[in-house]
Amino acid sequence: MTKDQFITVFILFGVQIVVWFQLNGQLVWKWFRDNPFYLALLGVPISLLLLQTTKIGFPAFGNQIWPIRLLGFATGMISFPIITYLMLGEGLTMRTTISILLSMVIMFLQFK
């Protein structure tokens, strides 16, 4: 994994974590539920970070966009159940566990 590939994956994980709270924080905290406008404002830094992942990741993955898209999916599938368990106590089913493992395979396949 090159430095730029690592940075791409790191940013994607960070974005996925912020997105989780933006969309699901309403299930944890009442003030999230009552302030949709403020939560919508998170879309700006999220978009800027995703633009940055494309800028850094496209050349890092040999001028290919698919690895970035698949890594975005995989980082979401890996981070989502962890945060969901920590914040909401929702455990893992066999289906979820298999999906996480498959996401890890997708992630590892993107690196040459």
**Per-residue pLDDT tens for 19-66?**
999 999 999 999 999 999 989 999 999 999 999 999 999 999 999 999
Residue 112 clears pLDDT 80, i.e. is over it: no
Query: According to the model, what pLDDT value does residue 73 have?
Result: 95
- Residue 33 CA, distance from chain mean position: 22
> What DSSP character marks residue 63?
S
- Looking at residue 51, its pLDDT comes to 98
Locus of tokens 């699901």? 24
> Residue 36 sits in which domain range?
3-109
- Domains identified in the chain, total number: 1
Residues 80-104 pLDDT 10s? 999 999 999 999 999 989 999 999 9
Using the Cα atoms of residue 82, residue 86, residue 88 and residue 94 in order, give the sign of their dihedral. positive
Res 110: pLDDT: 93
pLDDT given at position 20: 97
